[in-house]
Amino acid sequence: MPLRALDVQLEHVSFAYPGGAEALSDVTMHVEPGEFVAIAGPNGGGKTTLVRIVLGLERPRAGRAELGGVPAYRYRPRARIVYLAQRAQLGIEAPATVREVVTAGRAAAHGLFGRLDERDRELVAEAIERVGLTQYARTSLARLSGGQQQRAFIAKALAAEPELLVLDEPTTGVDVDAQEAFAELLAELHRETGTTILYVSHEFGAVESLVDRLVLVRRSIVFDGPPSDLAAGWHDPSHAHA
Amino acid sequence: MLDLEFMRLAFAAGGIVGLLAPAVGFFLVQRRMSLIGDGVGHVAFAGVAAGYLLGISPVATALVASVAAAIAIEWLRTTQRAAGDQALALIFYTGIAAGVVLISAAGALNANLFAFLFGSILTVTGDDLRLVAILGVAGLVTIAFLYRRLLAVSLDEESARVSGMPVGLLNVLLAGLAGVTIAVSMRIVGILLIAALMVLPVIAASRIAWSVASAIAISMVIGVASVGIGLTLAYYFDLAPGGAIVLVAAGSFVLTSGARLALQVAEA
């Protein structure tokens, strides 16, 4: 089912953490609604800072960062902005099941005291089915493989019906086969839902063939275009790390 | 034993405390805030002392002091004016020092105070039970309504913040609930031991739980069972109920760990 998708506008954005060197310098980037964009670059190159600004978690020191034409930090309602942090780890010790984790994706949609209803339960069941984990719905996440855990986190994101989905290094620590399967699942979901996706990674091999556009960040944007236009040397991850 | 009114009052209040403490404690443990109960408990001591000094209900003053302390710890922690353990230490030592000063000023260093520190089955009054019932039920209803949000924030705080969930408010509400739990529990378990009833049943339940919901349910069962068995032991062997209750809760960890081991062996 196609979802409403959000556009992202960064205009001449610069940013530095307090007491630190400039993390981003004069970054301009426009993401159209429904685009699937990979943001790559070396560790420490400013990718995570860039997405934190996009998500409104940080405010630019100079320039503008907007979601849907509104300053990112002021954008409301935010229940359909979904962020999966680096290799999303469960923040709890208790054995959360796949269904409990995915249901948490609906929590933001109902304010502080609103109750989840039948539609929420349907969305959760659908999301679990779409990532192929129906038979594991009652299984504790801790008992699943790394790849299956990533699928559960994607299901949690899907349950929120995202208009913007930001994934930050989502496959760190997951084996290559699982990374490729994960990227394919993401591309399939993008085709089905049409939501805007920003996929952040220090390497882009897994998603290179699946995204519309690749943005390379090294404090500023050093490449922005279709992956096929990238000079051959850049495809070598060691170059991105230079 | 149940022919005696003071035991019926103790069991009734203890039942509510046994349900509420692990329900609130579950989220404190998941957020790695297990020791907040100890810090707040020491401020509750200052609240009790203030009650004696002012000649008003020590439970009411402890309630105000506990909620204020819990919110202060959360504020210090989240605004990064002090690291988590420093915020706790600041409140912890200030609370106990203020308690000692106030209680000596009130001239109330006596056995009655001992009952607040370690619990007593003789001290629960009808008025206490009404207050425990009202606040306990309000606390449990609040947890029920906030359950999905508290779980979402526990699972991934950053993601919850991005999605517009009021993470700061939820943290303050949770801290406030911890304060309420301590105030309503101190008659039974005692100020110095209530934190244990918020944490030990949760740790024990996590050994055998298969989901978050089951972990909370099992910890509440352990909480109620610990209070029931602990009060019974305190009655028959003339023990401080707080110590007896907490030792039973600690024993439950041994039991659930054994059960887990047995399950693992059976599965192998």
Region A81-109: mean pLDDT is 83
Structure tokens at B218: 């099992």
- Evaluate whether residue A20 is within a structural domain: yes
Is A79 touching B (CB cutoff 8 A)?
A: yes
- Parent domain of A73: 1-80+163-242
Q: Which of A75, A83, A92 is best to mutate for the B interface (most B CBs within 10 A)?
A: A92
Write the pLDDT tens digit of every residue in B132-170. Answer: 899 999 999 999 999 999 999 988 888 999 999 998 889
Could you tell me the strand order of the sheet in which A70-71 lies? Answer: A22-31, A8-16, A62-67, A70-71
Same domain, A207 and A143: no
What local confidence, expressed as pLDDT, does residue B52 receive? Answer: 82
Same domain, A138 and A40: no
Same domain, A185 and A200: yes
Cβ within 8 Å, pair A104-B162:
no
Boundary of a domain, candidates A161, A176, A196: A161
Q: What is the CATH number of the domain that holds A180?
A: 3.40.50.300
Cβ within 8 Å, pair B163-A81:
yes
Boundary of a domain, candidates A106, A127, A161: A161
- Give the separation between CA A201 and CA A217, rounded to whole angstroms: 10
| 3-class state of residue A88 by DSSP | coil
pLDDT band, residue B194 (cuts 50/70/90): confident
- Evaluate whether residue A113 is within a structural domain: yes
Phi-psi label, residue B156: left if phi above 0, alpha if psi -120 to 50, beta otherwise:
beta
Radius of gyration in angstroms for the set of CA atoms belonging to chain B, rounded to a whole number: 18
Name the residue type at position A104: A
- Evaluate whether residue A33 is within a structural domain: yes
The number of folded domains in chain A is 2
Does the pLDDT value for residue B129 go beyond 90?
no
Write the pLDDT tens digit of every residue in A199-233. Answer: 988 776 767 777 889 999 999 999 898 888 876 65
Give the number of A-B residue pairs with CB atoms closer than 8 Å: 105
Name which of A56-70, A227-241, B33-47 the model is least confident about: A227-241
- Give the separation between CA A235 and CA B13, rounded to whole angstroms: 68
- Evaluate whether residue A86 is within a structural domain: no
pLDDT band, residue A82 (cuts 50/70/90): very high
| 3-class state of residue A224 by DSSP | strand
Boundary of a domain, candidates A161, A194, A215: A161
A230: Cβ contacts below 8 Å, ≥ 6 apart = A214, A216, A223
Same domain, A193 and A232: yes
Same domain, A168 and A154: no
Same domain, A54 and A171: yes
Write the pLDDT tens digit of every residue in B97-109. Answer: 988 888 888 776 6
Same domain, A157 and A178: no
Cβ within 8 Å, pair A97-B163:
no
- Evaluate whether residue A88 is within a structural domain: no
Does the pLDDT value for residue A148 go beyond 50?
yes
Indicate the pTM of the whole model.
Answer: 0.86
- Evaluate whether residue A225 is within a structural domain: yes
* Domains by residue range for chain B, with CATH: 5-267 (1.10.3470.10)
Same domain, A61 and A169: yes
Same domain, A109 and A214: no
Same domain, A124 and A216: no
Minimum CA–CA partner of B156 in chain A: A91
- Give the separation between CA A95 and CA B159, rounded to whole angstroms: 19
Structure tokens at A221: 């944007």
Q: What backbone torsions phi and psi does residue A63 show, to the nearest 5 degrees? A: 90, -175
Same domain, A74 and A101: no
Burial of B78: CB neighbours in 10 Å, binned 0-12, 13-18, 19+: middle
What local confidence, expressed as pLDDT, does residue B222 receive? Answer: 97
Cβ within 8 Å, pair A108-B165:
yes
- Give the separation between CA A67 and CA A80, rounded to whole angstroms: 12
- Give the separation between CA B52 and CA B37, rounded to whole angstroms: 22
**Which residue in B158, B164, B211 is closest to A100 by CB distance?**
B211
Same domain, A156 and A223: no
B229: Cβ contacts below 8 Å, ≥ 6 apart = B244, B245, B248
- Give the separation between CA B187 and CA B242, rounded to whole angstroms: 9
